[in-house]
Amino acid sequence: MLSQAIFTTSEMDDLFSSASQIKAMLAFESALAKAEYTEGVIPSAAAAVIKSVCASATFDAEDLEKQTLLAGNPAIPFVKQLIEKVKQRDAEAAKYVHFGATSQDILDTAMMLQLKTALTHCLEDLEQLEQKLALLAFSHRNTLMIGRTLLQQARPITFGYKVATWLDGVSRSRQRIEQIKKDNLTLQFGGAVGTLSTLGSPALSVKAVMASALDLNDSEITWHGQRDRFAEIVTTLGILNGSLGKIAKDVTLLMQTEIGEVFEGAAEGKGGSSAMPHKRNPVSSVFMVAIATRTPALVATFLSAMVQEHERAAGNWHAEWHVITDLVKLTAANLKHANDLIGHLEVDTNRMLQNLELTQGLIFAEDITAALSPKMGKAAAHTFVEQACKAALKEKVHLKTYLLEKTDILTQITEGVSDVGFGMLDVGNASKSLDALFDAKNAIGASTNFVDNVLKNKRINGVTNTL
Amino acid sequence: MLSQAIFTTSEMDDLFSSASQIKAMLAFESALAKAEYTEGVIPSAAAAVIKSVCASATFDAEDLEKQTLLAGNPAIPFVKQLIEKVKQRDAEAAKYVHFGATSQDILDTAMMLQLKTALTHCLEDLEQLEQKLALLAFSHRNTLMIGRTLLQQARPITFGYKVATWLDGVSRSRQRIEQIKKDNLTLQFGGAVGTLSTLGSPALSVKAVMASALDLNDSEITWHGQRDRFAEIVTTLGILNGSLGKIAKDVTLLMQTEIGEVFEGAAEGKGGSSAMPHKRNPVSSVFMVAIATRTPALVATFLSAMVQEHERAAGNWHAEWHVITDLVKLTAANLKHANDLIGHLEVDTNRMLQNLELTQGLIFAEDITAALSPKMGKAAAHTFVEQACKAALKEKVHLKTYLLEKTDILTQITEGVSDVGFGMLDVGNASKSLDALFDAKNAIGASTNFVDNVLKNKRINGVTNTL
Amino acid sequence: MLSQAIFTTSEMDDLFSSASQIKAMLAFESALAKAEYTEGVIPSAAAAVIKSVCASATFDAEDLEKQTLLAGNPAIPFVKQLIEKVKQRDAEAAKYVHFGATSQDILDTAMMLQLKTALTHCLEDLEQLEQKLALLAFSHRNTLMIGRTLLQQARPITFGYKVATWLDGVSRSRQRIEQIKKDNLTLQFGGAVGTLSTLGSPALSVKAVMASALDLNDSEITWHGQRDRFAEIVTTLGILNGSLGKIAKDVTLLMQTEIGEVFEGAAEGKGGSSAMPHKRNPVSSVFMVAIATRTPALVATFLSAMVQEHERAAGNWHAEWHVITDLVKLTAANLKHANDLIGHLEVDTNRMLQNLELTQGLIFAEDITAALSPKMGKAAAHTFVEQACKAALKEKVHLKTYLLEKTDILTQITEGVSDVGFGMLDVGNASKSLDALFDAKNAIGASTNFVDNVLKNKRINGVTNTL
Amino acid sequence: MLSQAIFTTSEMDDLFSSASQIKAMLAFESALAKAEYTEGVIPSAAAAVIKSVCASATFDAEDLEKQTLLAGNPAIPFVKQLIEKVKQRDAEAAKYVHFGATSQDILDTAMMLQLKTALTHCLEDLEQLEQKLALLAFSHRNTLMIGRTLLQQARPITFGYKVATWLDGVSRSRQRIEQIKKDNLTLQFGGAVGTLSTLGSPALSVKAVMASALDLNDSEITWHGQRDRFAEIVTTLGILNGSLGKIAKDVTLLMQTEIGEVFEGAAEGKGGSSAMPHKRNPVSSVFMVAIATRTPALVATFLSAMVQEHERAAGNWHAEWHVITDLVKLTAANLKHANDLIGHLEVDTNRMLQNLELTQGLIFAEDITAALSPKMGKAAAHTFVEQACKAALKEKVHLKTYLLEKTDILTQITEGVSDVGFGMLDVGNASKSLDALFDAKNAIGASTNFVDNVLKNKRINGVTNTL
């Protein structure tokens, strides 16, 4: 499909190619032989030959793929061919290839090794994304725009605040991925039924040595049937994709012709429409929305597949493989698109200001009510403002224009604003005027404080923000 | 990944390759040019050149994949390059390439064309599978085995009955797929916002001619945002995979060492374990279970993606593409594995008989109770049999052996069996003996009638069964 | 949860209450007794007593719920208590209660009976919805508005066209539901392992009589383990919810403050915000979006649960129950909200016209290019229009205003428009002026034809449209 | 539905009742008033009245449910009624009810408070379950049984080992839940668009005081649109249900008539079948499988719903509510069933030993090969054993019986076993006999070491195991 590049990256395609999987399996076999020699299970000479063959052997991936259909999993033909290759060098050594291990040991461990690389990539991209988001939030800390709830204009915020909420979610996902990278990447090594029964007493020390050699965690017990470690990796990536999808959704909405507050950077040939010159089509954000639509079901599949029979499962283990790799590829692509998107996002601050005026002052009705309440009483203030809004709408004038003609009311507002007893009316100290009540920058509340909170200790322009 | 051949077929890999997608897109453009000429929208000469270029042009798929990342979808760079190629032949003709069409027209239609091929393949495989299942059900119409509920031995059935239930579900899926192949494969052609606004009055006739030329259904209205036709294809395949998964699950369970009633055919190198010579590992059925675990979530993703914005969506359309192709590939693979499985299934009828004896007659307790009831009363009969079962279990003797010593009871049974008033005791007409009550073939009820029902009009050994 | 009424209807709550389930189970037992008497399996007197008790007996639902936890399913305690109640009237008759049936027979059949009622309700609501959509499409057949793709303004359509696409999808779902109501509502009756082994030779005729009495389809074979009939009901409802979600999503987008083209009807207290008088919050459409987000996963769960073991499953059958009822409830609620939404939708046709002007003529650039092409050549025309658009944007003037100053160009346009050789330029016959090219009603293509296609044979204001 | 008790617990039904939700919302309003008074935002007297009304007010839940349908969410009618109730006591105080808060603040926070209780319940049940599993693993540390892979008998393990793998997964889920209980339970308080704009400068301190008062975490920034905290709770529960489903699946498989190694405890009326006295139907484990089938899709729904628009979403927030509560209820039910299951599990250790004999020694073929290899060479040993196995199978004799007749081979085995160079042959030190090679307890490898690893620091019989 011509669209495949949307849903993966070349790094991840390489990482989850047959060739890379073979490489990871060779790493397993090599580490196994070495650990078994170290712990006195197999002869030194055999280990040396196996290690050497693992370092240089090449495999016919296509042939292995075909054999997999008969064997039931890729490890069986792989080991068979590896034994053959070792035998060609040293028949005695061939006896000790894969000694004591089972197919699931090698495949689970290879996946863990591949995931280590994948998570490292993701974390790099996430850190870049965080820096871009931090810079964007910082740059637009005070950029006024309307906040929207239920897709309706509600009250003013700053664009920096909006971006800071995005960053907030992404940062937590980055922390979660760091945590699972530390906790969940674990060696699988148990032999046929998980008991390492062919290794005798050195079994557990072989396992420990292998884990250390492969830089994976060791486990308390074989986990052939306990898939929660993989599951947590999968769900953690699932959550990240949700957070990225939210950013993308916001961008597609802000790019609407009728809103036009942000735009994807206009790379040559990107998103344009020659027939429709006014269109600035979202591209990266559309890809991100598509990915966020696809990832939840992969998570569900993995969780469904956790119900695995006895010591090794009849199907649900097989179901995991492509679910994990598809999810990782989608995640990596999502992060790539997100970096493209945020790194080149164009912000139309004028349009943001224009859109604040779209309701002709009605978005400030609540502020007027609050200013009137001290003198007028809350109920009366509310009734008055409600009627004023209706009248202004009907007469198609700005609410401020309408109010300016009600001189009796004006006094009460001014007094109300000056009569600061609490809350939002602090703002009155500064201006004590109707203008102040219709000035969006007086209505953004803690927007900038929240931005500052989120930016604390984040890197902005290469410098850690120690604010 | 070395495991990829498990989850697809080479036919489907080809069908959904970039090359095949390009071919389908060329078919669209060619049909479009021809229809527009026929209906007087574009000049004859232009149509001829376009058709000729579509027939011979070659595209650099990799380049198109790359351009897709900038353009947002594969149709944009494809059309651009097609125009270029036509221009090289005839600059005037180039003006009429893709005239009045939009990206989604070409991509949706190409998918429909690819699905036509895919569904044809699936139907062929389904028909083969039905014939294999029919033959299996027919051959084992009378083969006694235990029926199991909640994974417990319950009462006897025939293996033919079990296979007939599999066939019953598969047949309905085949009929559904035939139906959607007829109803749902539909041309998409609407232009930018679906109104065919650049075509003028011949718009609808162009559309009709194209549909006919491509052998697709025409639609009442553009369906850029109405995805239910694809959705029904997707859900229908989803249901089929569920039915195949059920067959596979049954086989894995019947292959258990402790049951051992059926086995996957032992192809050279298939499922064997050199280290564990007693193992007959399921392979095809394991793949089928894995596939059935993966397909439901793809269906859910498609349904989630149905919520598409306005005249053409910002993301959810993109989300569909690989969901459809992944699902079709998984379905085709599932059918391939199913044909392998059923075509070579080995049935151990002796083991089936042995397993019927495993409870030492307890599975017939209900029959004894029924036979005793007419004379003894149902409650007393039940109490007696319950105690007899406990005693037989405790003494580790066959229930029949236990009962043979209770001569007073025997009389009542014989009389009860002869005293046929209704129901199951018909069987007594034939045997009037305790033996008959412990004979599984007298306890299979309508098993064979059901087999006959299902086999009616099915093809068995190449002959339609007109029973 | 206080929010539960959003996700169900009182009719569906009643229908899937324990009381209604008991009623459906009594219908099964009553029909069973009668059919078994008719076919000579049980005595007439027993059948009469059972029927009579089924007609009058009351059950303690709470007690049955509690017993279900021990028994494993609700049918076991229900039958036990029914036997007790019959015994109180006639000990002999009690022997024949539930004769030959198993728990799954009664529970599957009860579900089918409940679904018959549910689907009838849904179809009524769907027909109402179709009529409302038809009226809306008819009323706004010619109402001009901008069409939007990728959330960008693209080219003009009519609101009637948009509504017709909604109706198109909903109609197909209604047809599908009619079909499954006819095909899929099927009696389950097979006894312990599906073979009806306790009924003897009249087994199949008892089954046929029951099916007829309960107005359900009879089946070729017991389907305890073949769940595709339920699955197709589930997926069909899943698709409908997707189509409804698409309508709702469009409405929430059209209700945006910055677009403001349609609004939910302002029922007293609905969607208003006293603090923010300018807000017209979506309510029904928000509920519909929420429901469409929830339904796909239920479909996936059902499909996952299709993999059921042997003759009756150990868990996946249980998994079905609430998935079906939750889905039906959500569907019924979605239809209720949809009827509320469409029945009271307010359309701001002026705002639609204003929004068509938002790009100051740029949405018509393609039309200008087309008009210029015959004289100027397509490439030159394109280049010219592209520059004109940029200039107009920069100078912040309407594209028409800009072009009016280019008198040399004007001539070419006029000539181009008059030089009608094909396609869109037919429009030129009517006006031959620049005004015509900037008039949205000349750019809606086949919008109204499509509306007419979809409205054919639909009921509008109580009359079938035979156009 | 009579089956509802299977999928929830009475505690969770109470916790997520409308009444409890109202209580949680009152806690929010009470804490809000108090914090606003403390930080000087509202008058002390008003706060006192509000607190007092919150402590004593009763609400008509049914009425609120109905109002929710108009208002769009339950918080709107709730706050309206609360204001009314406060007004009845003190009109002035009524002005300060819900001051500065928005619907999502109260509903998200109420959910967090309810989840705190829910997670506490789950953790208690999890700890109980761990203790039961620990005791079971400890008791059966050395109980021999066959390990099974791909549903085939493979090699011996101990039942304690199997249980320890279950416990291993459950323990990690418990730790994860402890972690999210600490990290993720967070106050939501942001006002209309999240900026706390009506509170003025004390906004952040009010928020901090509230968080502390409600014993919830405070956040860096409002998270109305960032749903990852809830998402992580949801995915964590999803993983737990997968691990519980795996346990249940194993139990249903081990309870098969043909295996019969464990049984659910026979509570009065549980799982029995009067008609089929030999059946010991799984009940709790069947419920657990059903729940594990249902939970993954709920997780997917939540992740899908993470894509929320702008400052507060139009539908996907609503989609969350019942997904969270359904999932928590299912989880609590799963834990209840798991405690029932494990607390009363009956283990048939004799049947386990019998099943080890089912293959007549073939499961030890690998051990024989290993013992023969040192003298005979691996390849020759393998060939010999393969032929021996086939011969034994054909002659229907035990592999040991067959080998005992091959005296020449016996010598080599004995020598091989004594010739301990590595691995599994350590066992030979103890017995140096063929018997030892066919003794399962010599083939369990590190089973008991793994049990010991997992049991370290677990509570067994009320005592922490400090082994």
Are B321 and B21 in contact by the 8 Å Cβ rule? The answer is no
Contacts of A99 in chain D (CB under 8 A): 423
Tell whether B3 lies on the interface with A, counting CB pairs under 8 A. yes
How far is residue D315's CA from residue B305's CA, in Å, rounded to a whole number?
15
Contacts of D311 in chain C (CB under 8 A): none
Q: What average pLDDT score do residues B49-58 get?
A: 96
pLDDT tens, residue by residue, C318-363: 999 999 999 999 999 999 999 999 999 999 999 999 999 999 999 9
Give residues 337 to 376 of D whose Cβ lies within 8 Å of A: 366, 370, 373
Contacts of D281 in chain C (CB under 8 A): 72
Per-residue pLDDT at C375 exceeds 80? no
Question: Nearest CA of chain C to the CA of D341: how many Å?
Answer: 12
The nearest alpha carbon in chain C to D316 belongs to C290
Q: Write out the H or E segment, with its range, that includes residue B147.
A: strand B144-149
Instruction: Report pLDDT for B99.
Output: 93
Weakest mean pLDDT among A302-316, C224-238, C403-417, D435-449: C403-417
Q: B138 or B376: which carries more pLDDT confidence?
A: B138
C151 → closest Cβ in A253, A278, A297: A253
Give C446's DSSP letter. T
Per-residue pLDDT at D411 exceeds 90? no
Weakest mean pLDDT among A260-264, A384-388, B219-223, D196-200: A384-388
* Torsion region of A396: left, alpha or beta (phi above 0 gives left; psi -120 to 50 gives alpha): left
Contact C148 A297 (CB under 8 A): no
User: Six-digit token pair at B428?
Assistant: 């007594």
What is the distance between the terminal CA atoms of chain C, rounded to a whole angstrom? 49
Contacts of D365 in chain B (CB under 8 A): 275-278
Confidence of residue D279 (pLDDT cuts 50, 70, 90): confident
Instruction: Report pLDDT for D430.
Output: 32
Contacts of A289 in chain B (CB under 8 A): 314-316, 318-319
Active site residue B273: yes
Per-residue pLDDT at D347 exceeds 60? yes
Catalytic residue among B89, B155, B312, B459: B312
Tell whether C424 lies on the interface with A, counting CB pairs under 8 A. no
Give me the phi and psi of D122, to 5 degrees please.
-60, -40
**In Å, how far from its chain's centre is CA B294?**
13
In 3D space, the residue among A280, A112, A295 whose CA is nearest the CA of residue A211 turns out to be: A112
- What SS3 class is residue C146? strand
What is the overall mean pLDDT for chain D? Answer: 92
Question: Nearest CA of chain B to the CA of C367: how many Å?
Answer: 8
How far is residue A205's CA from residue A48's CA, in Å, rounded to a whole number?
19
pLDDT tens, residue by residue, C232-247: 999 999 999 999 999 9
Per-residue pLDDT at A266 exceeds 80? no
pLDDT tens, residue by residue, A121-134: 999 999 999 999 99
Per-residue pLDDT at C428 exceeds 50? no
How far is residue B232's CA from residue C70's CA, in Å, rounded to a whole number?
40
Q: How many CB pairs under 8 A join B and D?
A: 118
% of chain B exceeding 90 in pLDDT? 80
In 3D space, the residue among D362, D335, D372 whose CA is nearest the CA of residue D125 turns out to be: D335
Are B168 and C221 in contact by the 8 Å Cβ rule? The answer is yes
Per-residue pLDDT at A411 exceeds 50? yes
- What SS3 class is residue D242? helix
Give me the phi and psi of B243, to 5 degrees please.
-65, -40
Q: Which segments within D380-462 are labelled E, that is strand?
A: 459-460
pTM for the model stands at 0.96
Confidence of residue B273 (pLDDT cuts 50, 70, 90): low
% of chain A exceeding 90 in pLDDT? 80
Question: Nearest CA of chain D to the CA of B109: how many Å?
Answer: 28
pLDDT tens, residue by residue, A142-158: 999 999 999 999 999 99
User: Six-digit token pair at A157?
Assistant: 């915020």
Tell whether D276 lies on the interface with B, counting CB pairs under 8 A. yes
Contact C293 D285 (CB under 8 A): no
Give B398's DSSP letter. -
Q: State the CB neighbour count (10 A cutoff) for residue D61.
A: 17
Catalytic residue among C273, C304, C418, C431: C273
Instruction: Report pLDDT for B416.
Output: 58
Q: What average pLDDT score do residues B162-171 get?
A: 98
Active site residue C280: no
Instruction: Report pLDDT for B268.
Output: 67
Q: State the CB neighbour count (10 A cutoff) for residue D117.
A: 17
User: Count of residues for chain D?
Assistant: 467
Instruction: Report pLDDT for A274.
Output: 58
Catalytic residue among B17, B273, B418, B431: B273
How far is residue A102's CA from residue D8's CA, in Å, rounded to a whole number?
40
In 3D space, the residue among D301, C333, D147, D65 whose CA is nearest the CA of residue A190 turns out to be: D147
Contact B305 A293 (CB under 8 A): yes
Burial bucket for residue A80 (CB in 10 Å: 0-12, 13-18, 19+) = middle
Contact C151 A282 (CB under 8 A): yes
What is the overall mean pLDDT for chain A? Answer: 92
Q: What average pLDDT score do residues C24-39 get?
A: 98
In 3D space, the residue among C113, C53, C108 whose CA is nearest the CA of residue C82 turns out to be: C53
Instruction: Report pLDDT for D366.
Output: 83
Catalytic residue among C312, C351, C433, C459: C312
pLDDT tens, residue by residue, A367-383: 888 888 777 777 788 88
Q: What average pLDDT score do residues D425-429 get?
A: 38
Q: How many CB pairs under 8 A join C and D?
A: 192
- The counts of H helices and E strands in chain A are 20, 6
Candidates B12, B247, B294, B302: best to mutate against A (most CBs of A within 10 A) is B294
- What SS3 class is residue C276? coil
Question: Nearest CA of chain A to the CA of D192: how many Å?
Answer: 7
pLDDT tens, residue by residue, B66-107: 999 999 999 999 999 999 999 999 999 998 999 999 999 999
Confidence of residue C370 (pLDDT cuts 50, 70, 90): confident
In 3D space, the residue among D409, D443, D412 whose CA is nearest the CA of residue D425 turns out to be: D443
Q: How high is the ipTM of this complex?
A: 0.95
pLDDT tens, residue by residue, B403-423: 888 767 666 666 655 443 333
Tell whether B327 lies on the interface with C, counting CB pairs under 8 A. no
% of chain C exceeding 90 in pLDDT? 80
Per-residue pLDDT at A447 exceeds 60? yes
Question: Nearest CA of chain C to the CA of D266: how many Å?
Answer: 10
Q: What average pLDDT score do residues A221-230 get?
A: 98
Confidence of residue A426 (pLDDT cuts 50, 70, 90): very low
What is the overall mean pLDDT for chain C? Answer: 92
Contact A5 B69 (CB under 8 A): yes
In 3D space, the residue among A442, A440, A423, A422 whose CA is nearest the CA of residue A432 turns out to be: A442
Neighbours of chain A (3+ CB pairs under 8 A): B, C, D
Instruction: Report pLDDT for B321.
Output: 98
Contact A226 D292 (CB under 8 A): no
Confidence of residue A230 (pLDDT cuts 50, 70, 90): very high
The nearest alpha carbon in chain C to A285 belongs to C150
Are D6 and D287 in contact by the 8 Å Cβ rule? The answer is yes
Contact C200 B427 (CB under 8 A): yes
Tell whether B111 lies on the interface with A, counting CB pairs under 8 A. no
Contact A152 C365 (CB under 8 A): no
Contacts of C151 in chain A (CB under 8 A): 252-253, 255-257, 282
User: Count of residues for chain C?
Assistant: 467
Contacts of C267 in chain D (CB under 8 A): 70
Per-residue pLDDT at A183 exceeds 60? yes
pLDDT tens, residue by residue, C167-224: 999 999 999 999 999 999 999 999 999 999 989 999 999 999 999 999 999 999 999 9
Per-residue pLDDT at B325 exceeds 60? yes
Question: Nearest CA of chain B to the CA of A247: how many Å?
Answer: 13
Contacts of C321 in chain D (CB under 8 A): 1, 3
Q: What average pLDDT score do residues B123-142 get?
A: 98
